[in-house]
Amino acid sequence: MTWLGAQRIDLESCASTNDEAARFARAGALHGTIVIAERQEAGRGRAGRAWASPAGGLYFSAVMRPPLPLAEVPPLTLAIGIAVCDAARAFGAAAQLKWPNDVLVADKKLAGVLVETQSQSGRLDSVIVGIGVNLEIVPPEVAHRATALHVDRETFIAELIARVEVWTDRYIACGLEMIVPAWQERMAPGLSARATIDGAAIVGELAGIDGDGALLLRDPRGIVHRVRSGDVEVIQAPAGL
């Protein structure tokens, strides 16, 4: 039985499918309702960044109501990343993951994930899982760092829905136990990051993620540090360069 996409809303354009999905969620939309737009006027990334959303790309948001405490929602991003990566691989792309939420092909960004929560008095009400994938067109404003997948849109949506459903269910059922090794298997090699740890800036090589989804960074002395998303910036050059 499939739950993701049992209700589907298609829009020609909107500001952000995450905002539309949040609005539907507040109006009582069921777990698995999806909103898909052909373009977005104000597509969002994390921390107020913009997501270039020209016509032709895929702008997809799902309303989810997982039985999870609020604190266990953020690592869902990792599970969704695996799903998007595998959907792209199903069409022959050599997709890999960049912590915490990017899907890369040959070091260029194909897709991004934006998970947002709505809560009431400290209890999770709904999760909005937003996924942006460049299909056919590389947006000109990010041309130097982005790539696109050339695939029939509806065929890709069907593949994406199937994979997102499976990996979401796995995360809900088993937590990070299955997610961490699957995520690490797909991690892009040779990335490094700048982080601030106890007030000191370090540049190190990405060494994977730990059991609760935090990034592991190996500094030039070989010491591995755990870092959280607010304190780290992943850079796409090998450490030391």
Per CB under 6 A, residues contacting ligand BT5 are: 16-18, 40, 43-47, 49-52, 59-61, 101-102, 109, 112-114, 130-132, 134, 139, 142, 146
Please enumerate in sequence order all residues whose Cβ is within 8 A of that of 120, keeping only pairs 6 or more positions apart, or say none.
none
> In the complex, what is the shortest distance from the CB of residue 183 to ligand BT5, in angstroms, rounded to a whole number?
16
> In the complex, what is the shortest distance from the CB of residue 195 to ligand BT5, in angstroms, rounded to a whole number?
16
Residue nearest to ligand BT5 (CB): 112
> In the complex, what is the shortest distance from the CB of residue 119 to ligand BT5, in angstroms, rounded to a whole number?
19
State the Cα–Cα distance between residues 22 and 18, nearest whole angstrom.
6
Structure tokens at 120: 């009431």
Q: How far apart are the first and last CA of the chain?
A: 50
Please enumerate in sequence order all residues whose Cβ is within 8 A of that of 15, keeping only pairs 6 or more positions apart, or say none.
40, 41, 42
> In the complex, what is the shortest distance from the CB of residue 234 to ligand BT5, in angstroms, rounded to a whole number?
10
> In the complex, what is the shortest distance from the CB of residue 139 to ligand BT5, in angstroms, rounded to a whole number?
5
Backbone angles phi, psi at 109, to 5 degrees: -80, 120
- Taking every pair of C-alpha atoms in the chain, what is the biggest distance, in angstroms? 53
Other Cβ atoms less than 10 A from the Cβ of 166: the count is 16
Residue among 138, 124, 133, 241 at smallest CA distance from 194 = 241
